[in-house]
């Protein structure tokens, strides 16, 4: 019930392309869904987050799409840049205050 | 202001030794979390402190792990009799917890302490 499933495990995108990472959850008590970006040797940094009362949230080149009925959400990175190369984690929170993380996606944007 | 800080950044220890990891949360943040990041297990919750409430210890993997938070600020995670499987990056996060009962608090992470148990 606490698991968040993330795919793909790794992703290679050309500069300027769209990166898409998907997550799915089972626990309907989750009501906050953040995405974190992590560079090697650094802690995760909040990128963007969404609540289930909206279906989409956009901040600059980053968009979260949320499908409550399917219990799925995804991160879209538009105009991907080499500087976006990092590991991305989806997460979920609700009830218990601890974040439940997906397994991570290593994104590589080729110049 | 300053972000979450953790020390040491790296710790190498021998199996069986005790280690202490320190976390300084963002000033004014009432909630503090410890997570562990390892290759095999991803990011796992360990323990959560919120104000003067009893901590949520449900993520601690064994009784060798303990944590305390003094004065509602600095926290120390202690691992006794370390084992090789304890090798991981230990991450601390804090959040302002805007209102009691809300579950939309943003968690801000520190850089982590990389623990290697030989």
Reported as a single tens digit per residue, the pLDDT across A52-107 is 889 999 999 999 999 999 999 999 999 999 999 999 999 998 877 889 999 999 99
Q: Which of A95, A97, A103 sits opposite B42 (nearest CB)?
A: A103
Q: Which of A32, A42, A89 sits opposite B103 (nearest CB)?
A: A32
Q: Is the C-alpha dihedral spanning A36, B35, A67, A9 positive or negative? A: positive
pLDDT higher than 70, residue B102: no
Q: What is the pLDDT of residue B104?
A: 54
Average pLDDT over residues A41-54: 93
The pLDDT tens digits for A1-12 are 568 999 999 999
Asked if residue A77 lies in contact with residue A69, where contact means CB atoms within 8 angstroms, the answer is no
**Mutate: best of A99, A103, A106, partner B, most B CBs <10 A:** A99
- Do B45 and A104 count as a contact with CB atoms less than 8 A apart? no
Q: Chains A and B: how many Cβ contacts under 8 Å?
A: 63
CA distance A52 to chain B (A): 11
Least CB-CB distance to B45: which of A42, A98, A104? Answer: A98
CB contact under 8 Å between A97 and B33, yes or no, is yes
Judge: B108–A98 Cβ closer than 8 Å, yes or no: no
Tokens of B21: 């990891």
d(Cα A21, Cα B105) in Å, to the nearest integer?
Answer: 23
Does A99 contact B45 at a Cβ distance shorter than 8 Å? yes
Which of the residue ranges A107-111, B51-55, B97-101, B108-112 would you say has the lowest mean pLDDT?
B97-101
User: B97 or A46, which is more confident?
Assistant: A46
pLDDT band at B108 (very low <50, low <70, confident <90, very high): very high
- What would the pLDDT profile of B70-79 be if each residue is shown by its tens digit? 887 899 999 9
Helix, strand, coil percentages (3-state) for chain B, rounded to 5, are 5, 45, 50
Residue A86 — φ and ψ, nearest 5°?
-175, 180
């Amino acid at each position: 019930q606490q698991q968040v499933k993330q795919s793909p495990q790794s992703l290679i995108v050309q500069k300027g392309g769209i990166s898409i990472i998907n997550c799915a959850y089972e626990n309907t008590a989750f009501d906050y869904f953040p995405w974190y970006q992590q560079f090697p040797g650094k802690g995760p940094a909040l990128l963007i987050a969404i609540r289930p009362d909206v279906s989409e949230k956009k901040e600059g080149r980053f968009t979260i799409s949320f499908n409550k009925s399917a219990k799925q959400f995804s991160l879209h990175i538009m105009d991907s840049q080499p500087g976006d190369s990092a590991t991305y984690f989806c997460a979920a929170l609700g009830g218990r205050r601890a974040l439940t993380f997906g397994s991570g996606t290593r994104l590589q944007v080729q110049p | 202001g300053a972000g979450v800080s953790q020390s040491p950044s790296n710790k190498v220890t021998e199996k069986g030794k005790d280690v202490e990891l320190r976390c300084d949360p963002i000033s004014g943040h009432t909630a503090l979390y410890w997570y562990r990041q390892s290759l095999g297990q991803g990011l796992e919750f360990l323990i959560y402190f919120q104000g003067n409430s009893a901590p949520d210890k449900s993520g601690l993997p064994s009784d060798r792990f303990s944590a305390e938070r003094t004065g509602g600020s600095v926290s120390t995670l202690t691992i006794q009799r370390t084992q090789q499987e304890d090798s991981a990056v230990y991450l601390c996060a804090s959040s302002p917890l805007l209102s009691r009962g809300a579950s939309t608090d943003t968690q801000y992470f520190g850089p982590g302490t990389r623990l290697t148990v030989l």
